[in-house]
Structure formats: structure tokens, C-alpha cells
């Protein structure tokens, strides 16, 4: 299955880009195995929604705990975010 984004990994930071032509159906609810902080690299109206919460515009850093259900909601234009993965104690 192809991913609806392009990643560039440097250390523990991922630069992720979603093209403006992405079909919103590709932006599915999912969970990640590590805590993450997501920060937009530019002004955008794209949103992140965590389970049982209202969608939040990606304008400041958003913390997403590991295994928390969440999704990205498409806005206008392309989206580029920096994702920092955090090591967690078991």
C-alpha cells in the first residue's frame, strides 16, 4: 500500500509533505508506535484530530501520544510538517 505523503528523515525528525491533490479519503484514522510532536512549516488550514476531540488547525506544535487514534484533515494547498518522534520508557 502506498502512503499518501513523502517523508524525508533526518535524525529523529521527519519532514512530511502531503500534496494538494491528495484525496481526503486517503487520510485515515491511525495510531503511531511513538509519541510525536507535529509542527507545520508554514501557515496552513490543515487540521489534526485526535480521538474524542475536535479538529485543531496545525499552527502550533501538537503533541500526539503513542497509540492515540488520530487523523489529518485536508485543507487548502499542500501541507509540510516536521514530526519529532520521542523515545518513551517501557
Looking at the structure of the chain, the number of domains it has is 1
CB 67 within 8 A of CB 32: yes
Q: What is the pLDDT of residue 52?
A: 97
Q: What is the CA radius of gyration of the chain?
A: 13
| Residue-number span of the structural domain to which 55 is assigned | 6-83
Ranges of the chain whose pLDDT falls below 50: none
32 located within any domain: yes
- pTM for this one? 0.88
Residue 79 buriedness (CB in 10 A; 0-12 / 13-18 / 19+): buried
90 located within any domain: no
Q: What is the pLDDT of residue 27?
A: 95
CATH number of the domain that residue 29 is part of? 2.60.120.10
89 located within any domain: no
Give 25's contacts (C-beta < 8 A, 6+ positions apart). Answer: none
22 located within any domain: yes
Q: What is the pLDDT of residue 56?
A: 95
Q: What is the pLDDT of residue 90?
A: 60
37 located within any domain: yes
Amino acid at each position: 500500500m502506498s502512503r499518501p505523503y513523502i517523508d524525508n528523515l533526518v535524525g529523529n525528525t521527519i519532514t512530511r509533505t502531503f500534496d494538494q491533490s491528495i484525496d481526503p479519503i486517503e487520510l485515515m484514522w491511525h495510531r503511531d508506535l511513538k509519541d510525536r510532536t507535529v509542527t507545520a512549516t508554514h501557515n496552513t488550514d490543515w487540521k489534526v484530530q485526535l480521538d474524542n476531540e475536535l479538529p485543531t488547525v496545525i499552527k502550533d506544535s501538537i503533541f500526539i501520544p503513542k497509540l492515540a487514534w488520530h487523523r489529518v484533515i485536508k485543507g487548502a494547498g499542500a501541507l509540510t510538517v516536521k514530526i519529532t518522534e520521542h523515545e518513551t520508557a517501557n
